[in-house]
Structure 1
């Protein structure tokens, strides 16, 4: 039902905003795996690169995959430092304690 409602709203908006553009970005963040630090690909490094990417591209809507709640908090902190104006809307698919 939610997908149908979202589709309906998107179609409705597209009809009324036919001359406007919407810049959307999505990024597979990869969950915060402690083993990534051994390979030089820790979340702390990826987070700053991702925030630089968002600041450069400045999408109006930005989606993520594989993000854990702690990572969302980290991104929110960087957003405030970068003075970006994003509203955070998310659905938790798994708890961090469940593992991946």
Structure 2
């Protein structure tokens, strides 16, 4: 039985993409040469980490609510890779739930 996400997929997907992009960009690249002050870069980093946290928690709850057979592997993937696995899961969620 397919159960809904805690947060709508239309809201969660942009949050996950925002978290993925800005975590990679602000940690990998120095944004101060582009005219972004250091404080703004820190705020972007904290916001991206918060987006990652929200996405991971919602998706872990979803995996366990829908009782997927690979729920422990998905949980490890979400915890270790964050929004990379989260975005992939959101894109393929319907096919995984139809197999469960």
Which has the higher Rg, Structure 1 or Structure 2?
Answer: 1
Structure with the bigger percentage of strand: 1
Q: Give me the TM-score of the superposition, normalised by structure 1.
A: 0.30
